[in-house]
Chain A
Amino acid sequence: MGRKLVWAGVLLALSMPGPAFADQPTKGGILSFAIGGEAPNYDCHANYSFSAIHWLAPHYSTLLKFDTSAYPSIVPDVAESYSVSDDQLTYTFKLRRNVQFHDGSPMTSADVKATYERISKPPKDVISLRSTLFEDVASIETPDPFTIVFKLSKRDASMLANFASPWNCIYSGDKLAKDANFPRTSIMGTGPFVFVEHAKGSHWVGKRFDRYFIEGKPYLDGFRAVLMSGPAMINALQGGQIVAEFRGFSPAEKSRLVDALGDKATVQESGWSCKLDILFNTAKKPFDDVRIRRALNIAIGRWDGARSLQRVAFVREVGGVIRPGYEFAAKKEELTKYPGYSEDIAAARSEAKRLLKEAGVENLKVTLLNRNLSMPYTPTGLFVIDQWRQVGVSVDHVQLETSPYQASLQSGNYDVGINAACDFMDEPNLQLLNYISKDLSSLNYGNYIDRTLDDLYEKQKRAANKAERYALVRQFEQRLFHEAYTAPLIWWHRIVVHHKQVRGWYITPSHYLGQDLASLWLAR
């Protein structure tokens, strides 16, 4: 009874319109929150994990950024304004004039240029993980200290979003000139917080940057991020030692916290730009046979699965290769026509059995490679095993630590695998990159070459308008599912529970975005 009441309270809080939360921000306070992992170094350009960006984002700024309260709209950050030429080949940014680095030096277009050159054409000893996003940038010009112009050789439909990527932290050009790798070991940006201390394996402290370029921000005096995850993190959140964690919670964690904290908890939920895929190693028999791949794909009852799995794992929506809810995602009536997305699971299962019989493998036994992470890999893996069992396929479940798991995928030493496709923003360029030919994408672990997919990828990237791009993305999905190179499973569902006093933080479908903490404040 008590729990029901609490739930009703949470639902009410969730359904309340924005303004109810948006009362006047108050200044001051130290935000204590958890981050679930630690990065090898401090360089934004050389990291890919949320466990890097959550520590680093408060210290840095980017050219543009996503407005988390109105995702996916893009707003300027250190830029004051920007313009895109009609042919979409020239991007011009006017920079704010009052941006300072934490050492007091002013930030100019030269710094931005040095930063973007480091990202797109890294020197030999510098690691830049996202250089390919800027491979079409032909030149970067700085007509004056507060203007920067990017000229592209080819049109790229994702370009504006690329400039809003949280990974493109702006570094000081002077310091880069002295040591191109200084960001690996020291933190010096233009962000709302100055780095104070990092106790390795334990915590990280930042304090307010008084000369931050937005008047009155940040609201907090500082933050203290603590390295913790799993049950220990939930315990600390319940005990009040931390007031938030911004990656995401499982449904069980949510209900435990809501149960324990009652009206002191705020729950924010959103679709999540991550999903798990079934990968077929097409270089290995019998998975070179499209009938077998197709059978295994359609044997998965996604709609029923989503309904039951969402109670135990942070997954919810059924979708193709683009996150449901995003503008380029397949609509439900299109989705249900793809193989594997039929709502008639009984028919799909008998078709799967027929295909397996036709391929001569009625008693197929597969080894399923999975990571040994409890959320959501294990439940999803168990779900797939249960689904395949129902068409007579028996599964040996191999769960490995990250490194041997990654090595197995990389070396093609597996039959069928479960792999996360998780991107820092909704952009077809990123999502589709997982599925183009082996020789073009290091993310293709299925070991296939398919020039039709490559061609469609390139075309949608160069699309002049959204309608054209939408149609091309559909063609891409149709081809992908017809060949059954991969079988997307249920899309993740992001749940964040924090103490109610944490305000001004908005959930988005990406846990990489919106972590600069500039607008976050603590209610008294």
Chain B
Amino acid sequence: MTMTATTHRVREGKLARVAVGMARFTLTQPLGTLGLLFVLVMAAAALLADWAPYDPTAFDMSAMLAPPSREHWFGTDAFGRDIFTRVIYGARTALAIGFLSSLIGCTVGAILGVASAYFGGRIDLVIQRCVDILLSFPIIVLALVVVAMLGKRMVLGIDVNLVVAISLPIIPKVARVARAAALTIREMPYIDAARVAGFSHARIIFRHICPNIAAPYLIMFTAYIAQAILLEASLSFLGLGVTEPTPAWGLMLSGNAVEFYREAPWMILFPGLAITLAVFAFNLFGDSLRDWLDPKFKT
């Protein structure tokens, strides 16, 4: 009885703290708030894409290369597909792939980094070599080969292999940061105390170390969503990422879209702007989040 009451109170307290925290974030980080707003708008667009005015894949040869108008806000492409609709659906593709890749990359990276720092010795050496190996592969090269190697596997409209390819280069970078962060915590007296008290490794890692690296994790997670979106766009642009007819921003710029520069500049303008805005927003938000969470930056 008392237990539930306590948890209830704790939860209320947490809620209040979150609300206060958000309010403080808004006040101290106007740029970050702007970024967050962009992100939220994009997320809403992605979620509500099904209400977009047109079918993103349906041809309308009678409306090919139509300029922006009341019917087609961003104009249409070479197949008469509505660009506004495709940009909206593209947000779904970009966010899904960006979010998943960053989540996988950061989580795997963090686990490796923490394990490396906590266990040390031979495990540390082996993990660090693996991290070095992955790091020495140039990002886009790694993605190129993995995409070519794994082919395409669609799950719920998302190419999981592409997600893997994009998350791979994130892993070693996160692992390094997580290791460094965990190392400083490992030396703290209370970890020693916990170890002496005979707590299990899992308990020490999850109860004591993980909460302490939550801040860098969150910062990296946001930043890598931006990078993942950019990498997905680059791969799609090269024809190695998302394939037609799936609406994706990088893909909308690829091939000979650029040949329509004079006839239909909106074809390369809006998808490019969408990529830029999306990455911009995530970076802006991530930056402010870092300034806000990192004690070193507090004045």
> Which chain A residues have a beta carbon within 8 Å of chain B's beta carbons?
230-231, 234, 250, 252-253, 255-256, 259-260, 308, 311-312, 372, 374-375, 378-379, 381-383, 385-386, 389, 396-401, 404
Residues in A whose Cβ lies below 8 Å from that of B259:
231, 234, 250, 252-253, 256
Q: Which of A231, A389, A398 sits near B152, CB closer than 8 Å?
A: A398
How many angstroms between the C-alpha atoms of A308 and B78 in the bound complex? 10
Q: Which of B245, B256, B258, B262 sits near A375, CB closer than 8 Å?
A: B256
B239–A256 CB distance below 8 A: no
Q: Is the interface of A mostly helix, strand, loop or mixed?
A: helix
A255–B263 CB distance below 8 A: yes
Residues in A whose Cβ lies below 8 Å from that of B151:
398, 400, 404
Binary per-residue interface labels of chain B (243-282) against chain A in the complex, 1 for a CB within 8 Å, 0 otherwise: 1111000000011101111110000000000000000000
A312–B78 CB distance below 8 A: yes
23 A-B residue pairings within 8 Å (CB atoms): A231-B256, A231-B259, A250-B256, A252-B263, A256-B259, A256-B263, A259-B263, A312-B78, A374-B254, A379-B78, A381-B244, A385-B57, A386-B59, A389-B57, A389-B58, A396-B154, A397-B243, A397-B244, A397-B245, A398-B152, A399-B244, A401-B240, A404-B151
Q: Which of A252, A260, A382 sits near B59, CB closer than 8 Å?
A: A382
A372–B243 CB distance below 8 A: yes
- B61: Cβ under 8 A from any A Cβ: yes
How many angstroms between the C-alpha atoms of A311 and B59 in the bound complex? 13
Which residue on B lies nearest to A311, using beta carbons? B64
A252–B243 CB distance below 8 A: no
With A256-B263, A379-B79, A385-B245 given, name 5 new contacts (CB 8 A).
A231-B256, A234-B259, A375-B255, A386-B57, A389-B58
Which residue on A lies nearest to B246, using beta carbons? A397
Residues in B whose Cβ lies below 8 Å from that of A250:
256, 259
Chain B interface residue count, CB cutoff 8 Å, equals 26
Binary per-residue interface labels of chain B (51-74) against chain A in the complex, 1 for a CB within 8 Å, 0 otherwise: 000000111010010000000000
How many angstroms between the C-alpha atoms of A308 and B60 in the bound complex? 10
Which residue on A lies nearest to B238, using beta carbons? A372
How many angstroms between the C-alpha atoms of A378 and B246 in the bound complex? 12
Select the residue from A231, A260, A383 with max chain B CB neighbours within 10 A.
A231
Which residue on B lies nearest to A253, using beta carbons? B259
How many angstroms between the C-alpha atoms of A383 and B78 in the bound complex? 12
Return A207 CB to nearest CB of chain B, in Å.
34
Binary per-residue interface labels of chain B (146-158) against chain A in the complex, 1 for a CB within 8 Å, 0 otherwise: 0010011010000
Which residue on B lies nearest to A387, using beta carbons? B59
Within 8 A of A (CB), among B61-115: 61, 64, 78-79
B240–A382 CB distance below 8 A: no
Residues in A whose Cβ lies below 8 Å from that of B245:
382, 385, 397
B243–A398 CB distance below 8 A: yes
Binary per-residue interface labels of chain B (220-246) against chain A in the complex, 1 for a CB within 8 Å, 0 otherwise: 000000000000000000011001111
